[in-house]
Structure 1
Amino acid sequence: MATPRTSGFGLWERLARLPGQLLGRNPFGGELLPGRVPILAPGSGRPALPFPHPWNYRDPLCILDSYFHGSESAEGAARHNRYLDFPGFPPVLVTRDPAVIRAICSDTGDQPGQFDRDPLPSAGIARATGKDTLLYSNGSVWRRQRKIAAPPFGKTTLFQPERFHEFEATFRQTIRKRLGVLRDHLASTGKPTAIVSLEPEIKVVMLELLTNNFFGTEIGYDELRSNYVPAIERMIDHIVRDTVTNTLGLPLKKLPALTRSIAQAKRDDATFEELTNLVLAGRKSGKGLWKQFKSDAPDSALRSNLRVFLAGALEATTSYATWTLAHLSRNLPAQEKVFTEIEHIDDYTPDRLDEAGYFCRVLDETLRLTPSLYFLPRQATVDTTVTISDGRTMQIPARTHVLLGVWHANRHDDHWGPAITGYPANEFAPERWEHLAASGRASKEMLHFGFGHGARVCPGKHLGQLEVALVVGAIVKMFRFKAVNATCEARAGVSTKPADGTLVELELRAPAN
């Protein structure tokens, strides 16, 4: 690195900014001037305080809502760009402007003057998995971690024909086996339908695909379901709570087991470590795709990233799959169109999936309307001027915490509504992508940011797309399913998921002739 990257906010910086903060001066500049969000707004009807605290941290979407409370009447850039300036702290910028989101994502990296990934919202994850990960680290550490851990997940590695066919076949076998158990259970009841929560089933399948198919371990399904999945679920819940409530930043290993929850978290951490050891054990023999980790780095350099990948199987990929199924369970015509398109597809190569155009639009629409990651955190390393495609600029002070509000950007009619896409932004409508194509808008122009964007794009993007396509495709081919509840709210923690656990009424499809 040419220059050091620091995230601190020193005493002199605090004192220098304090007068302007107390007087309410806007610390931003340029044509894209964001609007100020009051810290307290009694009587306004605002849904929450605009920052997490021990009483609201479990509803982060509501916290983000609070930034845009009353902003529909704002003029200019303040309609979609908002900031909070708490005296003595760096400013917080929240944007739901896709052009600004794209510009900041594109200007995130490890070069001097670029944005960092803000580590503050990931503090709990770092304490549970380690700081030397692709998710948490910045600068030269991030660059080194990407070189070590990301290549096996890349498109050129994952989709090499001879490797992909073997890999994809094991995926299909695993999914068919698990769905076969569900099918046999339904048949054994003698009833035409059964009420099932799909999320618990999908979590186990997603973890099994990663541990057994990708990394080559041989962990039994029952062990995954009864031991490892519950432990990681509780660890994720601990991570969310720890990020907000652990103000001293003490790692779990140093916390005394004075409460039942901390004692349980320590046991779950030990189970998580056990699973990590099982996955690492396949490295010596080159099982699964371990042979694609072209590095002589010691196991210790991979351990933290492995824990992130394993937790991600229960978070991002599960989120993506369950939301897709939740939307299809409430749009039965779309479900049947997907079935007709993939009914005779057995070889899920990237080319065959690309041919299933409507299915691809369903997946894109899922990531647009209900992205797993509802915001992308960034931090300005220096005073930075961001320029969007039409030439307008925003001047962002150094140390600013930036929340790129993907969830809110994708649901606003100004960006994705009828005038642009032909359909309301808050509706699930795969057909909007046909409308965009017909109107000449390229896919590179209309980004849903479902896997992020720019240098810090999710390294598991291609693996996640393959896993979700296989899981959703297999379920659609085997079952008809409709939602038990007419509507479904989102619950959010590390990622978003359907609040009802994807509760559906399953019915076996007649076997193909």
Structure 2
Amino acid sequence: MARLNVKLLAKYFSTATKVKPYDEIPTLPKWPILGHAYLFFPNGKYKLDRLGDAILDLSESLGNIFKLNLNGSDLVVSLNPDDARSMYAAEGKLPFRPSFPALAHYRKKTFGSIGVVPGNGEEWLHYRKAVLPLLKGNIVAAYADDHKMISSRFVNYIRRNRGSNKELKDVFNHLLKFAIEATSVTCPGVLFECLDETLDGSDVSNEITKASVDFMEGMYGTLVEPPVWKIWKTKSYKKLEQSHTVIHRLIADGIEKTKQDLKNNPNKHPFMVSLFENATLTENEVLVLAMEVFLGGLDATPTTLAMALHYLSQNPEAQARAFSEVSTQNQLKYVEACLKETLRMAPSAGASSRYLAEEAILSGYLVPANTLVAVFSPITSRDEKYFHSPMEFIPERWFRENKDKRHPFASIPFGFGARVCPGRHLVNQEMLILLTEILRNFKLDSNNGQVGMIHRMNRIPDQEINIFFTDR
């Protein structure tokens, strides 16, 4: 810590004429007690589900760094990738970020522990260490055959569910079913069938899908509404609680089936085995982690795949090049670039935030330790200062031979640092395999207009995405 402070001190004196005090960070007039919350009132200027648009609009008058006072404390907002780098550098060994209080409250009351997503401090570190096997290449590769099988199931699902004109409406909700299946084979280790012809519209399929959607909506509702759920159960809290109960039952049943399967197939289920064999975890903690990994696997996959299909359907040259690659080559360099470009243009994560473990210089201002800072990658990743023609779908920009210099913190869809998404390699494998199978089987077209993003915990498309899947 001392060495880091010495570095900061040296940087401060080397740029002393430029470093400005925290109080000079631009802001808006605030109301007593409410601060700047009035901006997001029901009849206020901005809507919370369009938070990115609000931040971008505020930056036009306040600049790329400014302060908002929310819930009685300051939030420093930055649209400077250099500040993102500085924020992560100052996050400390135990990165602290705002929690999801309703989820933490419910889990603490029900399970005695809260898990890695809403957790902070030593409890977060305890859980984080347990999910690190998800970052190992051999663990991820062990599920490739399952992901190929599920991708084939989804291709058949498309053929059954598209209309007579070959159009599949609202692909996001269909892709959620794919994500449920693809994630469930990893955690809890059994296939939660949502794509089988015999299950279309069944109680089992609907229960899994509805619980997953309700959980995200309940989380979002309890996060943005006044915390009256602490006094009585609001509609959002009930939705969170009820969906969590369903998912808990499904995961618990799945864990028992996986344990039975391991008796006959000891080499299967490598991630779940890593949890079962972790001596630091109680059975209850294994269950909480299994729920978190399952739910975490539903965040980015449906959104990213839906947007990738949208962009490819509207960019025939990119689609033709991707099809040529999957038809003739083993390497999927261009298809991978299509996913990276989708994650640049439409990342599912809306922002990344940290309470600074130590003071930091952000955009020339000295920001004290313990200040909450948020950086908005979905905005910087569409800024022409960091990407040429940022509103155009150009997968080639991600090729190594591309000479354009990219700021490493302008597009960070899975976060960075100690709290980087542990499942990102697994999710990328799922998406790459499915996109490859779809391109091999179908030509993509659409009549969609411009598709934006809204916040529902993470970001999702703001309208239905309808795609024509024509057999090749």
- TM-score range for the pair, normalised by the shorter chain length: 0.7 to 0.9
Cα distance between partner residues in 2 of 1:263 and 1:146: 28
Shift of 1:311: 2.2
Any idea what SS the aligned residue of 2:374 has?
strand
CA 1:54–1:508: 2 relative to 1, 3 Å: same
Structure-2 residue corresponding to 1:141: 123
Give the equivalent residue in structure 2 for 1:431: 396
The residue that corresponds to 2:221 in the other structure is: 241
Q: Write out the 4+ residue segments of structure 1 that deviate beyond 6 Å after TM superposition.
A: none
% same residue: 18
After TM superposition, give the deviation of residue 492 of structure 1 in Å. Answer: 1.8
Out of 477, 480, 497, which is 2:443 matched to?
Answer: 480
- Given that residues 369 and 410 in structure 1 are in contact (C-alpha distance below 8 angstroms), is that contact kept between their aligned partners in structure 2? yes
Measured at CA, do residues 91 and 437 of structure 1 come closer, stay the same or move farther in structure 2, by a change above 3 Å? Answer: farther
Contact persistence 1:217–1:282 (CA under 8 A): yes
Using a 3 Å threshold, how does the CA distance of structure 1 residues 137 and 260 change in structure 2: closer, same or farther? closer
Name the structure 2 match of 1:291. Answer: 273
Contact 1:50 1:63 in 2 (8 A): no
Kept after mapping to 2: 8 A contact 1:60/1:493: no
1:98 and 1:217 map into 2 onto residues whose CA distance is 41
> Which string of whole-angstrom CA distances, capped at 9 and with x for unpartnered residues, describes residues 29-52 of structure 1?
7xxx74223447xxxxxxx96765
Q: Which residue of 1 aligns with 2:308?
A: 324
Q: 1:208 to 1:474 in 2, by over 3 A?
A: same
Write the deviation string for residues 446-467 of structure 1: whole angstroms up to 9, x where unpaired: 6510110111110111111101
> Matches of 2:106 and 2:299 in 1, distance apart?
15
Change (3 A) 1:262 1:83: closer
How big is the shift at 1:269? 3.0
1:366 equivalenced with 2:319 (yes/no): no
The aligned runs of 1:110-149 (5 Å cut-off) are 110=93, 116-119=96-99, 122-127=100-105, 132-148=114-130
Contact 1:82 1:93 in 2 (8 A): yes
**Matching residue's letter, 1:338:** A
In 2: Cα distance, 1:173 partner to 1:68 partner: 46
TM-score (norm 1): 0.75
Match of 2:22 in 1: 28
Alignment of 1:375-390 (within 5 A): 375-382=351-358, 384-386=359-361
Deviation at 1:487, TM superposition (A): 1.4
1:59 paired residue among 34, 42, 50: 50
Instruction: Return the offset for 1:224.
Output: 5.2
Match of 1:21 in 2: none
Following TM superposition, by how much is the alpha carbon of 1:153 offset from its aligned partner in structure 2, in angstroms? 0.8
Per-residue Cα deviation, 1:219-247 (whole angstroms, up to 9, x for no partner): 33335531111122012111111112242
What is the CA–CA distance in structure 2 between the aligned matches of 1:185 and 1:135, rounded to whole Å? 35
Equivalent-residue separation in structure 2 for 1:469 and 1:499 (angstroms): 24
**1:444 to 1:437, Cα distance in 2 relative to 1, 3 A:** farther
Q: Partners in 2 of 1:192 and 1:58 — Cα distance?
A: 33
Per the alignment, do residues 440 and 411 of structure 1 end up closer, same or farther by CA in structure 2, a change over 3 Å counting? closer
CA 1:140–1:266 in structure 2 vs 1: closer, same or farther (change >3 Å)?
A: closer
Match of 1:203 among 162, 171, 176: 176
Alignment of 1:75-474 (within 5 A): 79-85=63-69, 89-110=72-93, 116-119=96-99, 122-127=100-105, 132-148=114-130, 150-159=131-140, 164=141, 167-185=143-161, 191=164, 193-221=166-194, 222=199, 225-248=205-228, 250=230, 255-256=232-233, 265-282=240-257, 284-285=259-260, 286=262, 288-289=269-270, 290-293=272-275, 294-296=277-279, 297-344=281-328, 355-382=331-358, 384-386=359-361, 393-416=364-387, 423-434=388-399, 437-439=401-403, 441=405, 445=408, 447-474=410-437
Return the TM-score normalized by structure 2: 0.81
SS in structure 1 at match of 2:76: strand
Change (3 A) 1:378 1:183: same
Q: CA distance change for structure 1 residues 498 and 218 in 2, over 3 Å: closer, same or farther?
A: closer
Q: In the comparison of the two structures, how many residue pairs are matched? A: 428
> CA distance change for structure 1 residues 123 and 483 in 2, over 3 Å: closer, same or farther?
farther
Structure 2, unpaired ranges of 5+: 3-19, 263-267
Structure 1 residues 123 and 263: alpha-carbon distance in aligned structure 2, compared to 1, 3 A threshold: closer
Mapped to 1, the partners of 2:465 and 2:87 lie a distance apart of 34
CA spacing shift, 1:208–1:364, aligned 2, 3 Å: same
**Cα gap change, 1:213/1:312 in structure 2, threshold over 3 Å: closer, same or farther?**
closer
1:370 Cα shift? 1.1
Q: Deviations over 1:141-173 (max 9, x none)?
A: 22211112x1331134425xxxx2x52112111
Report the alpha carbon displacement of residue 58 of structure 1 after superposing the two structures with TM: 3.0
- Mapped partners of 1:459, 1:100: distance in 2: 23
Aligned to 1:68: 59
Contact 2:187–2:294 (CA under 8 A) maintained in structure 1? no
Question: Is the Cα contact below 8 Å between 1:83 and 1:94 reproduced in 2?
Answer: yes
Cα 1:231–1:54 shift into 2, 3 Å? farther
**CA spacing shift, 1:238–1:491, aligned 2, 3 Å:** same
Q: Give distance in 1, aligned partners of 2:37 and 2:238.
A: 31
For residues 476 and 462 of structure 1, the distance between their equivalents in structure 2, rounded to whole angstroms, comes to: 21
Q: State the partner residue of 2:8.
A: none
Deviation at 1:309, TM superposition (A): 2.3
The 1:301/1:195 distance shift into structure 2, 3 A limit, reads closer
DSSP 3-state at the match of 1:82: strand
After superposition, what is the alpha-carbon deviation per residue over 1:174-207, rounded to whole angstroms, capped at 9, x for unaligned?
Answer: 2202321322455xx7x45234321121101111
Aligned equivalents of 1:183 and 1:342: distance in 2?
Answer: 20
**Mapping of residues 473-512 of structure 1, within 5 Å:** 473-509=436-472
The alpha-carbon deviation at position 307 of structure 1 amounts to: 2.6
3-state SS in 2 of match to 1:68? helix
Change (3 A) 1:275 1:192: same
Quick one: which amino acid aligns to residue 269 of structure 2? G
Aligned CA distance change for structure 1 residues 471 and 125 (closer, same or farther; 3 Å):
farther
Equivalent position amino acid for 2:420 in 1: V
Q: C-alpha distance in 1, partners of 2:161/2:74?
A: 55
Distance 1:302 1:80 in 2: 42
Alignment CA distance shift 1:433-1:262 (3 Å): closer
**Amino acid of the structure 1 residue aligned with 2:193:** G
Instruction: State the 1:89 CA deviation.
Output: 2.9
